[in-house]
Amino acid sequence: MPWTPGSDASGVVAATGPGVTGFAEGDAVFGMIRFPDLETGGRAYAEYTTAPAAHLARKPASVDHVHAAAVPMSGLTAYQYLFDHVRLPHGRTVLVNGAAGGVGHFAVQLAKTRGAHVIAVASSRHEAFLRDLGADEYLDYTATPAEDAVRDADLVVDTVGGPGAHRFLKVVKDGGTISPVFHGDYRREEAARRGIEFRGGQVHSDGAQMEALAALLEDGTLRAGIDSVHDLADAAKAHERAERGHIQGKIVLTVAS
């Protein structure tokens, strides 16, 4: 202590350090800063912070700071899972569990960029949100568990995990893939017998991938859902909102100008 939380930021460059050529004072930028370096961290709950230039990209002009700040960690996680860890081929069936949350709602949209048939699993209040983002099918897990309704998915992106995560073995086809975004009991020996692979890893800062996300945001292929917006001074209320769960998109803190 003192320690400033926060990894994601969208803002305006106030000054550049020595050797920085890609950005100049006044540029609007966004990114996930120094993650997973938890010791230094992004220090994004602040009016001013510092960032390695390699962790930032230019904010698309058509996207405001609230929507841009919603993207970095969740957008990069979905991007790295689908395109680095899984290398999702075109036209596969992808089930996203926890589809309305930060990672989930970006995973739905990024899978669609590869022509996937996307099955979004979320509680009932998220149906319109997820269909609007392009989900082909929507499943309310409070009424119908995914393992009772879906078979032979090529890929399950599971942002929920937990002790019951092995139920997705019934959902994925032999030789398919499960991407655990959070820890879960997936009964990996049983999965191995069926040739099911596990692909995933810790998200990391990446300015080049932020540029790829910026391009998708600019042309409207990717949209950030905003669950709620809070003043930085009310950060505790934002955390209380997060603790209540059932998040739709992202919670964003704003800094008074």
Q: Is residue 120 close enough to count as binding ligand NAP by CB under 6 A?
A: no
Q: Is 98 left (phi over 0), alpha (psi -120 to 50) or beta?
A: left
Mark the segment that binds ligand NAP (CB under 6 A) among 5-13, 100-108, 131-139, 171-179: 100-108
Q: Is residue 60 close enough to count as binding ligand NAP by CB under 6 A?
A: no
Q: Is residue 181 close enough to count as binding ligand NAP by CB under 6 A?
A: yes
Given the complex with ligand NAP, which of 104 and 176 has the nearer CB atom? Answer: 104
Query: Cα separation of 114 and 33, whole Å?
Result: 28
Q: How far is the CB of 22 from ligand NAP (least distance, A)?
A: 26
Given the complex with ligand NAP, which of 74 and 93 has the nearer CB atom? Answer: 74
Give me 158's structure tokens.
């599971």
Q: Is residue 88 close enough to count as binding ligand NAP by CB under 6 A?
A: no
Query: Cα separation of 94 and 193, whole Å?
Result: 21
Given the complex with ligand NAP, which of 14 and 242 has the nearer CB atom? Answer: 242
Length of the chain, please? 257
Given the complex with ligand NAP, which of 164 and 195 has the nearer CB atom? Answer: 164
Q: Is residue 160 close enough to count as binding ligand NAP by CB under 6 A?
A: yes
Q: How far is the CB of 86 from ligand NAP (least distance, A)?
A: 13
Total number of residues that touch ligand NAP (CB under 6 A): 24
Give me 216's structure tokens.
């998708």
Q: Is residue 225 close enough to count as binding ligand NAP by CB under 6 A?
A: no
Q: Is residue 157 close enough to count as binding ligand NAP by CB under 6 A?
A: no
Mark the segment that binds ligand NAP (CB under 6 A) among 13-21, 84-92, 101-109, 148-156: 101-109
Q: How far is the CB of 160 from ligand NAP (least distance, A)?
A: 5
Selected binder of ligand NAP within 45, 141, 168, 186 (CB under 6 A): 141
Query: Cα separation of 120 and 165, whole Å?
Result: 16
User: Which residue of this chain has its Cβ atom nearest to ligand NAP in the complex?
Assistant: 101
Q: Is residue 209 close enough to count as binding ligand NAP by CB under 6 A?
A: no
Q: Is residue 93 close enough to count as binding ligand NAP by CB under 6 A?
A: no
- Annotate the chain with DSSP letters as a single string: -------EEEEE-----TT--S--TT-EEEEE-STT-TTT----SSSS----GGGEEEPPTTS-HHHHHTSHHHHHHHHIIIIIIS-PPTT-EEEEETTTSHHHHHHHHHHHTTT-EEEEEE-GGGHHHHHHTT-SEEEETTTS-HHHH---EEEEEESS-BTTGGGGGTTEEEEEEEEESS-B---HHHHHHTT-EE--------HHHHHHHHHHHHTTSS---EEEEEEGGGHHHHHHHHHH----SEEEEE---
Q: Is residue 10 close enough to count as binding ligand NAP by CB under 6 A?
A: no
Contact residues for ligand NAP (CB under 6 A)?
73-74, 77, 97-98, 100-104, 121-123, 126, 141, 159-160, 181-182, 202-203, 245-247
